[in-house]
A and B are shown apart, each in its own frame.
Chain A
Amino acid sequence: MRRCVSRKTGQTNSTEATDLFRSASSKASSKEMERTDNLFYSYANKSSGLIDPEGIESLCSDLEVNHTDVRILMLAWKMKAEKQGYFTLEEWRRGLKGLRVDTINKLKKALPELEKEVRRPSNFAEFYSYGFRYCLTEEKQKSVDIESVCELLDLVLGSQFRAQVDYLIEYLKVQTDYKVINLDQWMGFYRFCNEISFPDFSNYDPNLAWPLILDNFVEWMKEKQT
């Protein structure tokens, strides 16, 4: 009888245990969520409910990275942040969940892993074009001014294509034909760095559909080289 009861109890226990476990896990996730949200609110502006540039600045100092560091841009990419200088709660949750972190320390530790993820070729092109779109702050804005483009270029391609980026930036600053760069030209730069042998341009064919600005760049480089 007892046995029976005990078995019953055991049964009850086991159901209770699964329930417990379920509630514990949901509790854990809700706890995680809570921690994530708390973290968000610790940086967010009280009135707008967003992490604004100021908030990002203090986030950066907590993460011990410069706010112009490429990793911040990568973080924004992970969050799929839409507006430059701002993170919404939704974006924040998406990003931190994706990185499986909920504290500032974990976030800090996750950054190198994030960088590896972004540098994977399958992600990098998307990240590269995201970087450009991230700079489009106005509605219907389709192009970015030369100065910002130079900074962005240095940020995203600088470590990978140092020489190309340096010359490209130098050229962009001396040329007078273009005041802004559009997405097509921006994507052209990446393709150029990836595909074209530098600095001899031996496989560069101006008859192919390179954006004109790159034709001009190559011409400028060749003139410089002679």
Chain B
Amino acid sequence: MSNQKKRNFQIEAFKHRVVVDPKYAEKTWNILEHAIHEIYNHNASGLSFEELYRNAYNMVLHKFGDKLYSGLVTTMTLHLKEISKSIEAAQGGLFLEELNRKWNDHNKALQMIRDILMYMDRTYIPSTHKTPVHELGLNLWRDNIIRCNKIQTRLLNTLLELVQRERTGEVINRGLMRNIIKMLMDLGSSVYQEDFEKPFLEVSAEFYRGESQAFIECCDCGEYLKKAERRLNEEMERVTHYLDAKSEEKITNVVEKEMIANHMLRLVHMENSGLVNMLLDDKYEDLGRMYNLFRRVPNGLLTIREVMTSHLRETGKQLVSDPERLKDPVEFVQRLLDEKDKYDNIISSAFNNDKTFQNALNSSFEYFINLNPRSPEFISLFVDDKLRKGLKGVTEEDVETILDKVMMLFRYLQEKDVFEKYYKQHLAKRLLSGKTVSDDAERSLIVKLKTECGYQFTSKLEGMFTDMKTSQDTMQGFYASHPELGDSRTLVVQVLTTGSWPTQPSVTCNLPAEMSVLCEKFRSYYLGTHTGRRLSWQTNMGTADIKASFGKGQKHELNVSTYQMCVLMLFNNSDRLSYKEIEQATDIPAPDLKRCLQSMACVKGKNVLRKEPMSKDIGEDDAFFVNDKFTSKFYKVKIGTVVAQKESEPEKQETRQRVEEDRKPQIEAAVVRIMKSRRVLDHNNVIAEVTKQLQSRFLANPTVIKKRIESLIERDFLERDNVDRKLYRYLA
């Protein structure tokens, strides 16, 4: 049963035998050829699309595709040769128009032919790997028209001439241009590039080479840049109007190279109008233009930056080393701030706030500010001046702005510890003489310093403020516990914590009896409330107000220093005192005494004492009298002490030495810290890490670090490795 076989059925195709007329192909092609002629002759309206399509279809179907295709090529070529002749014949300006018109015709014809031959396009062409009809039409156009001997060069020259005419300011038919260029692009990007773009770029390069040469000979830098910018814009505009968008980069490159890159150095250094002059004259517009143009070429911005940096360094160097400037620290710092403002403005308005330019600016400032070792002192003096008087009647925001700017300069300082030293001195003077204008401003600056350098940096400065506050409370307590002293506070004491204040170990002078009684009272009060402390009087830092009456019964209140008070009080008991007597009675150190006598006897308007013999300086044999003829239109007279605002040479060296001494333990601590964590480290890395750790306070000198390392080796904190002598080992 299962053996029964399955049978396969086959269905044969129905064979339709067509007897073909042997002349069929010839006949059909003749019809089609005629149609093509008609199409090129603008006579297509009488043709039947359906009939032609069917004919072409049948030819392909009956394996006459070859004949159809080759016939098409021949016919089209024939027509194109004719078209070529008519284009060649076109005169002058009509040439492009004729070309354009014929191109449009050809396109239309091609469209129709393709439609008729669509079947061939779909079946015959893919199977025989021939060129599709539309592409074929374009190729034939390219070979017979565009690359025809008589047209090719003429076309190129015409196009280039038009561009050239446009460059010289003439108006050209941009629409026509656009169409022709479009045609070249339609024929394939290689045609556009080979037949137009390449020569166009070459000619442009030559043109701009010549033009830039002419410009640079006769224009100044700003003018030249304007012209270059205009040319660049023109070229970009040209691209948008009638060139391939891809050409923009190429043509702008040409302009950039010829007009900018090739003349960059000459432009930047152009006499009287180059970059330096622009910077000097704040020519934001020109600078901005230079920035934008130079940015386009390799190393352009680098060139600007380098010239700016070297100019900045040079002027900065002059600024900080000009001996005239050094006479007035406030002016010195103001000039630095002005310079910084100037360049900040330039960078923000002309250089697009470029980070690299800001960095260059910062590094230049850092470079020249630190050229002058007195910069930290001067910056502190500037702040001192501002906080003493400069900020009167200035709004809070303005105060902040000024302080922020000062902080910016502070950031450039490598020797921040030196600044701290001076700042402490100046702050102490301000606080003790009650000269600070604004407590808020003072504190604001401390906060800024703290955020910049950390707690350690400002802790002592803050301690000074705390002392001032505590002293107020102490004084209140003192007078409350001594009601017999009455309300008038004859003695005001500020108790300063040792270490927080820049006190010099000073010899206490002999105070007048009236004073020393009070001082004793205070001492016993203070030590009674604070056990285990020691008080020493800093008589060199105090001030006193004393009432004095002169010859004609004139009364004045004199504001003097403690030393001056001690001297003046002596005259309550005698009319004439010799220098020696004064020195003996007061015990004031000689240089201080001389200065204090000088300020009371030799300064006009403040001369409450009279000296014999009259002279400007104090001699050891001089004698002093109360100046009965002293007059002043003010009731209160402030007698200053002749002091140099800036430090004297020995003082300066002393401060310097103190700073150096203070650095030693800091460097050693850093070395030990580093070595303790790393155990073994080579010399260069130790130097690098120490420098890094300390740079927020000062720039550690490698030689000094080395010295400290050697000292640590000597004291057995470190040792050198036995084999690799560059290595240090930490000895636990």
A residues with a Cβ closer than 8 A to B are: 142-143, 182-185, 191, 207-209, 211-212, 215
Closest 3 CB pairs of A and B: A209-B683, A182-B714, A184-B713
Best-surrounded residue of A142, A185, A207, A215 (most CB of chain B within 10 A): A207
**Chain B contacts of A182 at CB under 8 A?**
710, 713-714
Q: How far is the CA of A29 from the CA of B710 in the complex (A)?
A: 49
Task: Give 21 CB contacts A-B under 8 Å.
Answer: A142-B714, A143-B714, A182-B710, A182-B713, A183-B714, A184-B710, A184-B720, A185-B710, A191-B725, A207-B683, A209-B683, A209-B706, A209-B709, A209-B720, A209-B725, A209-B726, A209-B727, A212-B703, A212-B706, A215-B703, A215-B706
**Chain A contacts of B713 at CB under 8 A?**
182, 184
- Known pairs A182-B713, A209-B725; list 20 more (Cβ under 8 Å): A142-B714, A184-B710, A184-B713, A184-B714, A184-B720, A185-B710, A207-B683, A208-B683, A209-B682, A209-B683, A209-B706, A209-B720, A209-B726, A209-B727, A209-B728, A212-B703, A212-B706, A212-B707, A212-B710, A215-B703
Q: Write the nearest CB–CB distance from A119 to chain B, whole angstroms.
A: 21
Q: Write the nearest CB–CB distance from A212 to chain B, whole angstroms.
A: 5
Among residues 716 to 732 in chain B, which have CB atoms less than 8 Å away from a CB atom of chain A?
720, 725-728
**Chain A contacts of B131 at CB under 8 A?**
none
Closest residue of A by beta carbon distance from B713: A184
Q: Write the nearest CB–CB distance from B671 to chain A, whole angstroms.
A: 13
Which residue of A142, A185, A208 is within 8 Å of B726 (Cβ)? A208
**Chain B contacts of A209 at CB under 8 A?**
682-683, 706, 709, 720, 725-728
**Chain B contacts of A207 at CB under 8 A?**
683-684
Closest residue of B by beta carbon distance from A177: B707
**Chain B contacts of A185 at CB under 8 A?**
710
Among residues 669 to 715 in chain B, which have CB atoms less than 8 Å away from a CB atom of chain A?
682-684, 703, 706-707, 709-710, 713-714
**Chain A contacts of B725 at CB under 8 A?**
191, 208-209
- Mostly, the B contact residues are helix
Q: Write the nearest CB–CB distance from B457 to chain A, whole angstroms.
A: 29
Q: How far is the CA of A209 from the CA of B713 in the complex (A)?
A: 12
Q: How far is the CA of A211 from the CA of B682 in the complex (A)?
A: 14
**Chain A contacts of B709 at CB under 8 A?**
209
**Chain A contacts of B684 at CB under 8 A?**
207
Q: How far is the CA of A182 from the CA of B716 in the complex (A)?
A: 12
Q: Write the nearest CB–CB distance from A189 to chain B, whole angstroms.
A: 13
Q: How far is the CA of A185 from the CA of B713 in the complex (A)?
A: 10
Closest residue of B by beta carbon distance from A125: B722
Q: How far is the CA of A208 from the CA of B727 in the complex (A)?
A: 10
Q: Write the nearest CB–CB distance from A151 to chain B, whole angstroms.
A: 22
Best-surrounded residue of A185, A211, A215 (most CB of chain B within 10 A): A211
Q: Write the nearest CB–CB distance from A62 to chain B, whole angstroms.
A: 39
Q: Write the nearest CB–CB distance from B684 to chain A, whole angstroms.
A: 6
**Chain B contacts of A142 at CB under 8 A?**
714
Closest residue of B by beta carbon distance from A195: B725
Q: Write the nearest CB–CB distance from A144 to chain B, whole angstroms.
A: 12
Q: How far is the CA of A142 from the CA of B725 in the complex (A)?
A: 21
Closest residue of A by beta carbon distance from B704: A212
Closest residue of B by beta carbon distance from A216: B703
**Chain A contacts of B707 at CB under 8 A?**
212
Closest residue of B by beta carbon distance from A182: B714
Closest residue of A by beta carbon distance from B705: A212
Q: How far is the CA of A183 from the CA of B719 in the complex (A)?
A: 11
Closest residue of A by beta carbon distance from B686: A209
**Chain A contacts of B710 at CB under 8 A?**
182, 184-185, 211-212
Q: Write the nearest CB–CB distance from A215 to chain B, whole angstroms.
A: 8
Closest residue of A by beta carbon distance from B715: A142
Among residues 324 to 358 in chain B, which have CB atoms less than 8 Å away from a CB atom of chain A?
none
Q: How far is the CA of A209 from the CA of B728 in the complex (A)?
A: 9
Q: How far is the CA of A185 from the CA of B727 in the complex (A)?
A: 15
Q: How far is the CA of A215 from the CA of B704 in the complex (A)?
A: 12
Q: How far is the CA of A207 from the CA of B725 in the complex (A)?
A: 12
Q: Write the nearest CB–CB distance from A161 to chain B, whole angstroms.
A: 18
Q: How far is the CA of A143 from the CA of B707 in the complex (A)?
A: 15
Q: How far is the CA of A139 from the CA of B195 in the complex (A)?
A: 98
**Chain A contacts of B706 at CB under 8 A?**
209, 212, 215
Q: How far is the CA of A212 from the CA of B684 in the complex (A)?
A: 14
Q: How far is the CA of A109 from the CA of B146 in the complex (A)?
A: 112
Q: How far is the CA of A197 from the CA of B550 in the complex (A)?
A: 83
**Chain A contacts of B727 at CB under 8 A?**
209
Closest residue of B by beta carbon distance from A184: B713
Q: How far is the CA of A142 from the CA of B710 in the complex (A)?
A: 13
Q: Write the nearest CB–CB distance from B410 to chain A, whole angstroms.
A: 31
Closest residue of B by beta carbon distance from A211: B710
Q: Write the nearest CB–CB distance from B414 to chain A, whole angstroms.
A: 20
Q: Write the nearest CB–CB distance from B370 to chain A, whole angstroms.
A: 22
Q: How far is the CA of A130 from the CA of B107 in the complex (A)?
A: 105
**Chain A contacts of B726 at CB under 8 A?**
208-209
Best-surrounded residue of A142, A182, A183, A209 (most CB of chain B within 10 A): A209
Q: How far is the CA of A183 from the CA of B714 in the complex (A)?
A: 8
Q: How far is the CA of A182 from the CA of B711 in the complex (A)?
A: 10
Closest residue of A by beta carbon distance from B719: A184
Interface mask (B532-553 → A, CB under 8 Å = 1, otherwise 0): 0000000000000000000000
Q: How far is the CA of A209 from the CA of B682 in the complex (A)?
A: 8
Q: How far is the CA of A212 from the CA of B720 in the complex (A)?
A: 14
Q: How far is the CA of A184 from the CA of B727 in the complex (A)?
A: 14
Q: Write the nearest CB–CB distance from B702 to chain A, whole angstroms.
A: 8
Q: How far is the CA of A183 from the CA of B707 in the complex (A)?
A: 14
Closest residue of A by beta carbon distance from B726: A209
Q: How far is the CA of A54 from the CA of B725 in the complex (A)?
A: 41
Closest residue of A by beta carbon distance from B683: A209
Closest residue of A by beta carbon distance from B687: A207
Closest residue of A by beta carbon distance from B727: A209
Q: Write the nearest CB–CB distance from B706 to chain A, whole angstroms.
A: 5
**Chain B contacts of A211 at CB under 8 A?**
710
**Chain B contacts of A212 at CB under 8 A?**
703, 706-707, 710
Closest residue of A by beta carbon distance from B724: A209
Q: Write the nearest CB–CB distance from B720 to chain A, whole angstroms.
A: 7
**Chain B contacts of A183 at CB under 8 A?**
714
Q: How far is the CA of A191 from the CA of B720 in the complex (A)?
A: 13
Q: Write the nearest CB–CB distance from B262 to chain A, whole angstroms.
A: 42
Closest residue of A by beta carbon distance from B706: A212
Closest residue of A by beta carbon distance from B684: A207
Q: How far is the CA of A158 from the CA of B626 in the complex (A)?
A: 77
Interface mask (B357-386 → A, CB under 8 Å = 1, otherwise 0): 000000000000000000000000000000
